[in-house]
Every structure is written in C-alpha cells, then in structure tokens.
C-alpha cells in the first residue's frame, strides 16, 4: 500500500510538471504567433521589441523564432536613412543570421514554412534598392545590393498559379495586344538593376523597352512613369495599361497589365527574383497589398 502511495505521488508530480511545461510551451507559441501577426500587419517596431524580450528569456533559447523576427524587423528598417546609420552592425548580423538558416535542418524548416515572409522581404529590399538607384544614390544602392544578394539568395519558388493572357481581337486594342505579344517574347530574361535591354531588365527598363517598340517614349524610372501617365481607375484598367506598386505612396515597381476589362488583374513585369514573368496580382498578397494605381499612355 505504501509503495502504491509513493508511486501515485510520483505520477502526480510528473503530471504536474508536464502540465507546467505544456502551459509554458503554449505561452511561447502564442508569443510567436503574435509576433507573426504583428509582422504581417507591418508593426515592425513592435515585433522588434517583442523579439528582443524573448531573446532575453532563457526559456526561449530552444527556438529560432525570436532571432528570426528580430532580423526581419531590423531589415525592414533599412529604408530609413537614420536607421541604417545607427544600426549598421545589427543589419549585417540580421543578414548573416538569415543566410545561415540554410545550414541547419531547423533553419531549413523555418525557411520552408515562412517562405512567403522571406520572399516578400527580399522583394521589398530589392524594390527599395531600385528606388534608391532611381533617385541617383548609387553608392548606397550598390552596397546593399551586394550585401543582400549574398545573404538572401533567391530561394526555389513553390509551384505557383499559372498565368496566361488571351487576345480579344477588338480593333481598338490591336496595339495593346500586339504589345503584350511582343512582351511575351522577352519572358525569362533575367533581372538586372538599371537594365533596359535583352541583356537584362529592371522593372521600368522593361516597360520602357516594350513601349518604345511601339513608338511610345516612357520616362526611365517607375515613379516618373506614374507621374506622367493618365491616371485611370481599377475598373478602367486593362491590357496595355501600366500598374504601379510601392509603400507609403513611394512608387518602386511597375508592370504591364495583360487582362481584359472585367478580368482579374494580371501583368507581365521584370521581377527582381524571377526575371520577366507573368504574374497574377489579385492572387498575390505581396502585390495586392502594395498596389498604388494604374496609368495609361
């Protein structure tokens, strides 16, 4: 009987310990979920503070999540001049951490499950580099371009949604549809910052090249292409129109629509991660959340 009581008490202590561990793990998972939610909402400073608090607690040492979100939040600050100057060391450390994820199984799993975040971060940084080049700050753009390309190489993309286009054969769209047919011949050409030839395109170099083939001269950079275009509504936007993207009303990317009126928005563009490709806008959280407007020439 005494042996049974001792065994029963031992089991109770074990179960109580497991309950405490389970509660702590659930609290940690909730903390990680909250950081993920705040990051998706663009609250990068809040994410940074929460990640730092987790890094200061030994019970979080088993997880890569705190350092991962600290790194992402840090890199989102690159676009602010003062931040880059104050946090140069942290920026390098963040890039080194993300580059090192591919070296461990745990890191590879994090890359796989958070592919969309990493892809969006890379696109954001590349868009900022393009914007920095467009405004003539070549030294800063080239420094971070080399650093980011080394630390955030393009990952293998998951299978995406197939995007195609079809001609309506309407007389009034003859030029626009010929333009997209020509643009399609450039599909697969790789992305080059400042590129505007078949050797490689950046986003505005691609649109300029295609439009120039049809006698339409566009300004060289995406922000000026938007500024000089005739603005149209989303309901009016159709094949041959330009579509512009950015953050905080700063234009950093441009593509050419390939959809007919009333169809879901699709484009062909020079992607910094994939080169010249067709892309669904409405099926992409990244592009749909950064859509600024449409222009016509």
Mean of pLDDT over the chain: 86
pLDDT, tens only, 250-269? 899 999 999 999 999 999 99
pLDDT, tens only, 24-62? 433 457 889 999 999 988 899 999 999 999 999 988 888
Crossing angle for the helix pair 44-55 and 65-75, to the nearest 10 degrees: 150
pLDDT of residue 198: 95
Position 11 pLDDT exceeds 80:
no
Distance CA 72, CA 5 (A): 53
Token couple for 235? 């309901």
pLDDT of residue 135: 82
Q: Which residue do the tokens 């490689």 mark?
A: 200
Position 1 pLDDT exceeds 90:
no
Across 14-30, average pLDDT = 46
pLDDT of residue 27: 43
Classify domain 171-296 by CATH number: 3.90.1720.10
pLDDT of residue 3: 53
More confident residue, 154 or 102: 102
pLDDT, tens only, 151-196? 886 554 444 445 666 667 677 789 999 999 999 999 999 999 889 9
More confident residue, 127 or 212: 212
**H helical segments located in the chain:** 2-40, 44-55, 65-75, 81-86, 88-100, 105-113, 115-134, 138-151, 174-184, 203-212, 222-228, 285-289
pLDDT of residue 277: 95
Token couple for 220? 């060289």
Confidence of residue 106 (pLDDT cuts 50, 70, 90): very high
Q: 156: which residues sit within 8 A by CB, 6+ positions away? A: none
pTM of the shown model: 0.74
Q: 168-172 long-range CB contacts below 8 Å, 24 or more apart?
A: 168/239, 168/260
Domain with CATH 3.90.1720.10 in the chain: 171-296
């Amino acid at each position: 009987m005494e042996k049974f009581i001792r065994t029963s008490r031992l089991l109770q202590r074990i179960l109580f310990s497991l309950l405490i561990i389970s509660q702590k793990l659930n609290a940690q998972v909730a903390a990680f979920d909250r950081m993920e939610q705040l990051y998706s909402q663009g609250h990068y400073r809040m994410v940074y503070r929460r990640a730092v608090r987790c890094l200061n607690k030994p019970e979080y040492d088993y997880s890569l999540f705190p350092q991962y979100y600290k790194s992402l939040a840090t890199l989102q600050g690159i676009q602010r001049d003062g931040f880059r100057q104050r946090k140069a060391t942290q920026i390098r450390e963040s890039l080194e951490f993300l580059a090192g994820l591919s070296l461990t199984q745990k890191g590879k799993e994090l890359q796989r499950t958070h592919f969309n975040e990493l892809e969006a971060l890379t696109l954001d940084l590349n868009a900022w580099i393009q914007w920095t080049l467009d405004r003539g700050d070549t030294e800063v753009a080239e420094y971070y371009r080399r650093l980011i390309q080394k630390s955030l190489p393009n990952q293998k993309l998951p299978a995406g949604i197939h995007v195609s286009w079809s001609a309506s054969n309407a007389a009034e769209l003859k030029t626009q549809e010929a333009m997209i047919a020509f643009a399609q011949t450039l599909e697969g050409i790789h992305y080059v910052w400042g590129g505007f030839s078949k050797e490689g395109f950046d986003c505005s170099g691609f649109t300029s090249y295609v439009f120039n083939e049809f006698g339409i001269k566009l300004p060289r950079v995406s922000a000026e292409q938007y500024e000089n275009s005739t603005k149209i509504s989303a309901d009016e936007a159709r094949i041959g129109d330009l579509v512009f993207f950015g953050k905080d009303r700063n234009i950093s990317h441009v593509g050419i629509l390939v959809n007919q009126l009333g169809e879901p928005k699709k484009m062909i563009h020079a992607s910094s991660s994939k080169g010249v490709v067709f892309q669904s806008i409405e099926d992409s959280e990244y592009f749909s959340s950064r859509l600024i407007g449409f222009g016509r020439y």
